[in-house]
Amino acid sequence: MPHTPPPAAPRHRGRLRLAPLTALTVSAVLLVPVQAAASQPGHGGWTAKRPVATGYGGAVATVDLDASRTAIEVLRNGGNAMDAAVAAGATLGVTEPYVAALGGGGYMTYYDARRRKVYTVDGRETAPLAMREDSFVDPSTGQAIPLDQAVTSGLSVGVPGTLAQWDTALRRFGTRDLGTLLRPAIRIAERGFVVDQEFRDQTAANEARFRDIVPTRKLFLPGGRLPEVGSTFRNPDLARTYRELAKRGPGWLYGGGLGREVVRTVQAPPVDPAAARNVRPGLMKDGDLRAYRSRTPEPTRVSYRGLDVYGMPPSSSGGSTVGETLKILNNFELGASDHVKALHYYLEASKLAYADRGRYVGDPDKVHVPLKELLSDGFARERACLIKPDQAAAAPVAPGSPDGDYRPCIPPGGTARALTYEGPQTTHLVVADKWGNVVAYNVTIEQFGGSGLTVPGRGFLLNNELTDFTLQPPAPGATPDPNLPGPGKRPRSSMAPTLVLEDGKPKLALGTPGGSTIITTVLQILLNRIDLGMDLPTALAAPRATQRNTPDVFAEQAFIDRYGTALALRGHRFQPFPGPPTGVIGAATALEFLRPGLVQAVAEPVRRGGGSALVVRPRW
């Protein structure tokens, strides 16, 4: 018989309690410390990364010191959180070109302190109007083309959304114009940045395909060689592109000359004639760029332990799947006294939510997404009823029926859907300003290096986001798939820039890269912080595991070492997370309001080389 869960856990009364911490606390779970930063005039106050900063006047956490310094510069000069987020995003296009660029897209959640309301800005890429369900199918075999061929192709390139998203975000919420906010990125692109091991490793991982694409080889393999650690990498092409954007505005891409250059690159990939690589042309046309619009849908919202958790609605599955999992967990009492119990319920609840994600979530402009039902209390109880306290369910589990007719402990019907590929190489940043505005922002070109196609002379790569679609259509009569390719359709994403409010005011902001592991990373950080009582640096640095409705749980080795034996007694099977990067899940950034005006920004201390947290006025 299905297990009946205990009554819903009581809501936490009063404030979210904070564990004692100092301004520079980093948890003992960290493996190695990040180099301490030294104050230097002319460098925004910092010359090296550090993972935690606490202070006043605004805060930022990104993966990159230059991007964090750009955001702080904007805040110090009177810009708000949205201004700083856009400026940091533009800088990441220079210093993190394999994950953030004009050729990609992303999602933002934004708390407007004046209106006391959460908004979203959806800059997800769209498929060309010529795309069909079988566009990735090889007609000679009837099967989807190999994934590596789909990735490195014009076929995988979605209509870029980043620039339209910046434009919408600044017009609605910003106080500075785009040209002003591009200046720090232009300066860095011209002067260059110092190559670190992470940048060299990402280039090396792409070296073979980069060599086959002429403008990509010229830009990222200068002199035909991998950039050396400690050398200076410059991108004058991108500096010129940013300058021209400052003059011409977004219309230069969406219907102008830059857009025509993008289309030429997609339709006729600039492959070295001597290369043997099969780089398929894409379907994008000038009209696809003219037709692109960013969206501002209502955020998802769920209540969890007395807090309001806001997320990104479909086409992202981040807000719906994080929200559904939290709604399921609301049915159980979890706490710091039993980490194994809490982790068991976290793994089981996310397993169920991923089953529903695969069955129901897609682009809401093209398919029906039962979002209200997926986030309802009744559906959460129906799903929670299937969780046994001492035995993991065999995965994959079937999706539920979010139809409004909820009957406790009725096993679902239907067929589980295989996990769709999503490249894990994205980036996330958080910014808060002195007025209390907050941004959580995921930006991406999909995987490291995107499609591998650089727009000649423009200094940026194009995305491969359309590989987030289900590439192989289901057999006739099979369960419908909401994430098939289609004309003008946005592929499903897992990006989950998340804001948490307490009594109507911001408490936490967080997010991460990681493809389909984004959702579980955000969930685990929330579980660690809210239920297990960790401070935010500890919650973010703790070892991670991800259950995405797969037979095995994939986890970092430190998680397996700590919890694997105890959770195996409850039926969980573990495998080390394969990456890339090997063995590492996510690279999160987060911030927390410790009290009015006092903010703690937190970045990764170790994963992906560590991140950079800064505040306008440190609390020493």
- The residue among 469, 455, 554 whose CA lies nearest residue 219 is 455
Q: What is the C-alpha to C-alpha distance for residues 285 and 262, in angstroms, rounded to an integer?
A: 9
Continuous H helices in 443-556: 518-526, 536-541
Do 102 and 93 form a contact (C-beta atoms < 8 A)? yes
Distance between CA atoms of residues 561 and 579, nearest Å: 18
**For residue 145, what is the DSSP state?**
P
Query: Distance (Å, rounded) from C-alpha 95 to C-alpha 199?
Result: 9
Buried b (16+ CB within 10 A) or exposed e, 190-216: beebebbebbbbbbebbeebbbbbbbb
Q: SS3 of 468, please? A: helix
Per the structure block, which two tokens stand in for 125? 């890429």
Are 211 and 204 in contact, with CB atoms under 8 Å apart? no
Residue 22, Cβ density class (10 Å: 0-12 exposed, 13-18 middle, ≥19 buried): exposed
The CA angle 254-259-261, to the nearest 5 degrees, is: 175
Per DSSP, the three-state class of 122 is: strand
Tell the residue number behind the tokens 């195996």, with chain if given.
568
Question: 382 with 352: CB under 8 angstroms?
Answer: no
Other CB atoms within a 10 A radius of the CB of residue 56 amount to 14
426 is catalytic: yes
Question: What tokens does 183 get?
Answer: 């200046």
Report the DSSP beta bridge partners of residue 287: none
Catalytic residue from among 426, 498, 512, 538: 426
Assigned token pair, 26? 């980093």
CA pair distance 523, 347, nearest whole angstrom: 10
**Residue for token pair 């969980």:** 572
Q: Position 523: which residue type?
A: L
d(CA 320, CA 374): 7
Q: Measuring CA to CA, how many Å separate 295 from each of 166, 167, 207, 315?
A: 11, 11, 36, 10
CB 95 within 8 A of CB 66: yes
Considering only CA atoms, which of 612, 476, 496, 606 is closest in space to residue 541? 606
CA 65/CA 46 separation, integer angstroms: 8
Token pair 């750009």 in the structure block, residue: 70
Residues serving a catalytic function are 426
